[in-house]
């Protein structure tokens, strides 16, 4: 704190003093602080009332014990004149007596100091009243802040409870998605096994093909994604099946005809043998021999024609067998196509499952991050940014709900 040097009082029309050394040795009152500044600094330092200041101000401070300095007002010539007139001195005003001037100066200084102490007491009393009012206001404001803090804490606790419920809901939804994924994987394995059994049953003939068609009709309602491809495969299988049935019917008819012709040839051979035996036993009958010869020729011609028909039938049978082998190759190609379609569907389902697993892991990471943010909110003591954090948490919770709804929709579609 800056201190100002006191101004020495100058008497009116001061001339050469008879005793200059005596005037120079007179005690000079030291400076003191301003009333308001002293009261303010004493009361505000440490937050304690100025009991020591009041006790010190009750007694007259001496020049040797006063540590604070005050600024004394300068004594004007008119004031010095009044002081000289009031002292009753017989000395002229132009040359006052040093003792009387000093006494007046001391009395004026004492009065000024008493007035200063009174001002200090008034300032201290005013400051005490202001301090009490300020303490009351501060206490009321503190209670209001505590109430607001408690309300905000209750709101934060309620919000965190709601967030915990949302997290529990998200966890249950994730568990439901995982169970749906497991059931979908089981259904996929079951359908894959059914497709394998159906593909194996295609090569077993008409009845197995019919059962395969029934199984395919049953699977069409469950496998919407493979409906078009499987319909084309079913149409191709039906075409090949009808062709195979026609070839088999032709082959059976040709086999029956060959069997009948063989029976007829055997009967004719037997008749020929009987006729030859009869011819040997009755060589005398020339007419009969001629008849038998003609019959033999006729039979030989019939045998030749039957051989020709048998050759033709064998050629037709070879063609039918070639067509049947082609149909078998087409059926094998169809089976290979079914296997490729099945492997493609399995790869697609595996990719979908992998995507669902990655999405579930990302959701789990988001939930862990929400847990960390909630824990940070619980341990944080700063209440100002709490509303922004809660808003961010609410937005993140809504985003996670939308993502879960999208994941559930995509899972149902799959």
Whether the full predicted model's pTM is greater than 0.85, yes or no, is no
Task: Return the axis-axis angle of helices 227-281 and 286-379, rounded to nearest 10°.
Answer: 160
- Helix, strand and coil content of the chain, in percent to the nearest 5, comes to 80, 0, 20
Predicted confidence (pLDDT) at residue 160 exceeds the cutoff of 80: yes
Would 283 be classed as within a structural domain?
A: yes
Would 243 be classed as within a structural domain?
A: yes
Point out which residues pair with 80 in neighbouring strands.
none
* List of residues 6+ apart from 317 with CB closer than 8 A: 251, 254, 255, 258
Residues 248 and 118 in one domain: no
User: DSSP label at 380?
Assistant: -
From CA 279, how far away is CA 151, in angstroms rounded?
A: 134
Highest mean pLDDT among 165-174, 213-222, 288-297, 379-388: 165-174
Predicted confidence (pLDDT) at residue 15 exceeds the cutoff of 50: no
Predicted confidence (pLDDT) at residue 248 exceeds the cutoff of 50: yes
Query: Which of 174, 156, 153, 152 shows the shortest CA–CA distance to 368?
Result: 174
Residues 183 and 104 in one domain: no
Point out which residues pair with 32 in neighbouring strands.
70
Residues 165 and 297 in one domain: yes
Give the per-residue pLDDT at 220: 55
Owner of token pair 């206001």: 137
Residues 323 and 194 in one domain: yes
Residues 126 and 233 in one domain: no
Q: Which of 167-181, 193-207, 303-317 has the lowest mean pLDDT?
A: 193-207
Predicted confidence (pLDDT) at residue 30 exceeds the cutoff of 60: no
Give the per-residue pLDDT at 112: 92
Residues 118 and 207 in one domain: no
The answer to whether 124 and 117 are in contact (CB under 8 A) is no
Would 62 be classed as within a structural domain?
A: no
DSSP-derived 3-state class of residue 70: strand
Give the per-residue pLDDT at 218: 61
Predicted confidence (pLDDT) at residue 389 exceeds the cutoff of 50: yes
* List of residues 6+ apart from 379 with CB closer than 8 A: none
Query: Which of 125, 113, 109 shows the shortest CA–CA distance to 27?
Result: 109
Give the per-residue pLDDT at 413: 62
Residues 385 and 324 in one domain: yes
- Which two three-digit tokens encode residue 77? 């010539």
- Which two three-digit tokens encode residue 276? 């030859």
Predicted confidence (pLDDT) at residue 114 exceeds the cutoff of 80: yes
Give the per-residue pLDDT at 45: 40
**Mean pLDDT within 115-138:** 91
What are φ and ψ of residue 32, in 5° steps?
A: -120, 165
Task: Give the chain's mean pLDDT.
Answer: 67
Give the per-residue pLDDT at 170: 86
Give the per-residue pLDDT at 320: 77
Would 48 be classed as within a structural domain?
A: no
Predicted confidence (pLDDT) at residue 203 exceeds the cutoff of 80: no
The answer to whether 26 and 11 are in contact (CB under 8 A) is no
The answer to whether 234 and 338 are in contact (CB under 8 A) is no
Helix (H) or strand (E) holding 148: helix 98-201
Owner of token pair 């003939």: 205
Which of residues 342 and 216 earns the better pLDDT score? 342
From CA 307, how far away is CA 328, in angstroms rounded?
A: 30
Predicted confidence (pLDDT) at residue 132 exceeds the cutoff of 50: yes
Would 151 be classed as within a structural domain?
A: no
For 8-41, the DSSP string reads: PP--TT----S-HHHHHTSPPPPPB--HHHHHHH
Residues 115 and 161 in one domain: no
* List of residues 6+ apart from 209 with CB closer than 8 A: 201, 202, 237, 241
Residues 315 and 381 in one domain: yes
Q: Tally the domains of the chain.
A: 2
Residue span of the structural domain in which 337 resides: 156-413
Q: Which of 8-22, 318-332, 334-348 has the lowest mean pLDDT?
A: 8-22
Give the per-residue pLDDT at 122: 92
Task: Return the axis-axis angle of helices 35-44 and 98-201, rounded to nearest 10°.
Answer: 40
Predicted confidence (pLDDT) at residue 79 exceeds the cutoff of 70: no
Residues 263 and 333 in one domain: yes
Highest mean pLDDT among 6-10, 99-103, 273-277, 376-380: 99-103
Residues 168 and 312 in one domain: yes
CB atoms within 10 A of CB 105: 20
| Angle, CA 110 vertex, CA 108 and CA 115 arms, to 5° | 95
Give the per-residue pLDDT at 71: 46
What band does 230 get if pLDDT is binned at 50, 70 and 90? low
Would 342 be classed as within a structural domain?
A: yes
For 326-365, the DSSP string reads: HHHHHHHHHHHHHHHHHHHHHHHHHHHHHHHHHHHHHHHH
The three-state DSSP-derived secondary structure of 178-210 is HHHHHHHHHHHHHHHHHHHHHHHHHHHCHHHHH
Residues 276 and 354 in one domain: yes
Would 308 be classed as within a structural domain?
A: yes
Q: What is the pLDDT of residues 262-297, one digit of tens each?
A: 777 777 777 777 766 666 665 565 666 677 677 777
Sort 27 into a burial class: Cβ within 10 Å, 0-12 / 13-18 / 19+.
exposed
From CA 367, how far away is CA 142, in angstroms rounded?
A: 38
Q: What is the pLDDT of residues 290-326, one digit of tens each?
A: 776 777 777 778 777 877 887 887 788 788 778 888 8
CB atoms within 10 A of CB 37: 12
| Angle, CA 51 vertex, CA 45 and CA 55 arms, to 5° | 130
What band does 120 get if pLDDT is binned at 50, 70 and 90? very high
The answer to whether 126 and 35 are in contact (CB under 8 A) is no
Helix (H) or strand (E) holding 228: helix 227-281
Would 82 be classed as within a structural domain?
A: yes
């Amino acid at each position: 704190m800056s201190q100002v040097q006191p101004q020495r009082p100058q008497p009116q029309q001061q001339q050469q003093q008879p005793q200059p050394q005596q005037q120079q040795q007179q005690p000079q009152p030291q400076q003191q602080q301003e009333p308001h500044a002293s009261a303010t600094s004493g009361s505000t330092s440490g937050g304690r009332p100025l009991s020591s200041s009041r006790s010190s101000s009750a007694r007259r401070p001496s020049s040797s014990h006063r540590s604070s300095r005050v600024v004394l007002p300068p004594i004007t010539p008119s004031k010095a004149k009044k002081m000289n007139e009031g002292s009753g001195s017989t000395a002229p005003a132009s040359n006052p007596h040093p003792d009387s001037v000093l006494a007046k100066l001391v009395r004026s200084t004492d009065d000024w100091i008493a007035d200063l102490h009174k001002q200090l007491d008034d300032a201290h009393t005013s400051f005490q009243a202001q301090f009490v009012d300020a303490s009351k206001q501060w206490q009321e404001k503190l209670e209001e802040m505590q109430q607001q803090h408690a309300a905000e804490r209750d709101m934060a606790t309620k919000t965190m409870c709601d967030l915990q419920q949302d997290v529990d809901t998200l966890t249950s939804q994730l568990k439901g998605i995982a169970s749906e994924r497991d059931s979908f994987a089981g259904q996929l394995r079951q359908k894959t096994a059914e497709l394998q059994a159906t593909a194996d049953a295609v090569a077993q003939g008409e009845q197995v093909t019919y059962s395969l068609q029934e199984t395919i009709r049953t699977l069409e309602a469950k496998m919407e994604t493979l409906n078009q491809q499987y319909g084309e495969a079913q149409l191709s299988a039906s075409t090949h099946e009808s062709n195979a049935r026609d070839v088999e019917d032709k082959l059976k008819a040709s086999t029956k005809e060959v069997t009948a012709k063989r029976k007829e040839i055997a009967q004719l051979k037997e008749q020929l043998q009987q006729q030859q035996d009869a011819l040997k036993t009755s060589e005398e009958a020339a007419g009969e021999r001629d008849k038998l010869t003609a019959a033999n020729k006729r039979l030989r011609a019939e045998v030749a024609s039957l051989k020709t028909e048998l050759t033709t039938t064998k050629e037709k049978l070879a063609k039918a067998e070639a067509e049947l082998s082609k149909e078998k190759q087409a059926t094998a190609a169809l089976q290979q196509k079914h296997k490729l379609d099945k492997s493609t569907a399995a790869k697609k389902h595996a990719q979908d499952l992998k995507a669902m697993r990655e999405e579930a892991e990302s959701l789990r990471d988001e939930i862990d991050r929400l847990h960390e943010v909630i824990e940070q909110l619980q341990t944080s003591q700063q209440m100002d940014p709490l509303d922004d954090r809660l808003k961010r948490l609410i937005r993140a919770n809504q985003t996670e709900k939308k993502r879960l709804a999208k994941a559930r929709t995509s899972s149902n579609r799959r």
